[in-house]
Structure 1
Amino acid sequence: MTHVDMWTDGACKGNPGIGGWGTLMRSGGKERELFGGEKETTNNRMELTAVIEGLAALKRPCHITLHVDSQYVMNGVQSWMKGWKRNGWKTRDKKPVKNQELWMALDEQVARHQIEWVWVKGHAGDPGNERADALANMGVDEARGS
């Protein structure tokens, strides 16, 4: 199984506002960068989108070391999602899960791969995270039309 190091990040100018997402992938000495944006979104949606797009870009199942700076994404996958699925994508309070369509898409992508989740502190000098952040901001610029 191919090993991929992946860093993801989301950005939003205003929350909600113009947002972007970025993903950096490295494997076998090669590097790939992805980014995109939306005119009206939230930071959490962009954090989720960065992971979904990165995982979806892989053509076959991989072993991934996935570096994220989003506690929302990490907690969602590792702690909350199992209960949400068991409860029909409802929270403990019986309310619909926010960003449900993205969580469902992420669940589908996570099932394809073997993932080691690594939390990194954002804006703390991790080179992969810094590049993912720069890509996310490129996505903001693209959505802004600049």
Structure 2
Amino acid sequence: MPRQPKPLVLYTDGSCSGNPGPGGFGAVLIGKKEALHMWGGEEHTTNNRMELMAAIRGLQAIKRPREVIVWSDSTYLVKGASSWIYGWNKKGFKGVKNPDLWLEIDRLQSIHDVEWNWVKAHSGNELNELADSLAHTGRRTQVYDEVRVPLQ
């Protein structure tokens, strides 16, 4: 029997200056040999949209179906993706804020086996702090970018 690859780990965060206002997202996708750091921003958005965008961009970066463990400090994202989304889906996402993004998360969850976890913000978790820093970079620069970082 072939060995299953270890799950990928994804840390995500969103940032907004004003709500709505200029916002950014950051994501850190950790693979076997490298981490992919991603960030981006929008001129006029909300913090919740940026939280969702971080998860979307991270999951979209995965090229084939995988098991993914997502960590976020957003209760909205974690509870929404792990619980609320099933009821929203049955109702066609009517009355839900950010339906375009929730539809994409739903689509990505149909591809990947995603486990959603909450992490306390600004509590010293190094990867959560990195995702936060990337989100602030995205908010400031309004540029979508990514960089691959070799793991040691």
Question: TM-score higher than 0.5 here?
Answer: yes
Query: For residues 84-141 of structure 1, what are the alpha-carbon distances to aligned partners after superposition, in whole Å with 9 as ceiling and x for unaligned?
Result: 1111212xxxxx2110000001111111111122210011111110000000000011
Q: Tell me, what secondary structure is at the counterpart of 1:67?
A: strand
Counterpart mapping for 1:19-30 below 5 A: 19-30=23-34
Distance in 1 (CA, whole Å) between partners of 2:80 and 2:87 is 10
Amino acid across the alignment from 1:142: T
Q: What residue is the counterpart of 2:38 in the other structure?
A: 34
Q: Which runs of 4+ in 1 moved over 2 A?
A: none
Distance in 1 (CA, whole Å) between partners of 2:111 and 2:129 is 27
The partner residue of 1:61 within 61, 65, 71 is 65
**RMSD (Å) for aligned C-alpha atoms:** 1.2
Counterpart mapping for 1:1-146 below 5 A: 1-2=4-5, 3-90=7-94, 96-143=95-142
Of all paired residues, the percent bearing the same amino acid is 44
Q: State the number of aligned residues.
A: 139
Distance in 1 (CA, whole Å) between partners of 2:80 and 2:116 is 12
Distance in 2 (CA, whole Å) between partners of 1:113 and 1:14 is 33
5+ residue gaps in structure 1? 91-95
Q: Tell me, what secondary structure is at the counterpart of 1:73?
A: helix
5+ residue gaps in structure 2? 144-152
